[in-house]
Amino acid sequence: MRKIARAAAILPIVAAFCVGMTSTAQAESDCTDYSDNGGAKAQFKAYGEHLLVDDIFADGNSAVGGIEIYGDGHYFYWNRLSADGGVRDVNLDIAEGTTVVINAWLGNWDGTVTGGIDFTSNAVSNCHAVA
């Protein structure tokens, strides 16, 4: 009878410990968004949390990549180089499992973070990813 009582007392403790040890795994995901004419491209790479902002066309506009980090805010990153100037690689620090939304727009830099962005230039094809 003592063995049954001892097992009955220990079993809930072991079960609680095991439940506390389990974790749910979330897959990281990448996504890409383009402006409506394809001139700007924003790409999120979940591994390492990188936002790549690319000015694809030499049309006189800058490429703007936007990232909304759930629970943290919305950030805008400009690639003011010409289309042949390369991709801007923004190395972010986002907690694993955080959902993000990526957008790409065209813009004309006016010295402020959002002042020159043409918010109508996004094709409303923003993408969601998990860091």
Q: Which domains does the chain have, with CATH numbers?
A: 31-130 (2.60.40)
pLDDT at 12 over 60: no
pLDDT digits (tens, 9 = 90+) for 52-69: 999 998 888 899 999 999
Predicted TM-score (pTM) of this structure: 0.75
Query: 84-88: which pairs have CB atoms within 8 A and are 24 or more residues apart?
Result: 84/58, 85/55, 87/52, 87/53, 87/54, 88/52, 88/53, 88/54, 88/63
Distance CA 31, CA 126 (A): 9
Q: Report the percentage of the chain scoring pLDDT > 70.
A: 77
DSSP string, 89-108: EEE----TT-EEEEEEEEE-
The pLDDT mean for the chain works out to 80
Cβ atoms 88, 81 nearer than 8 A: yes
Torsional sign, CA 74, 36, 81, 30: positive
Residue 125: the pLDDT is 67
Paired tokens of 41: 């491209």
Distance CA 78, CA 81 (A): 9
Distance CA 109, CA 66 (A): 15
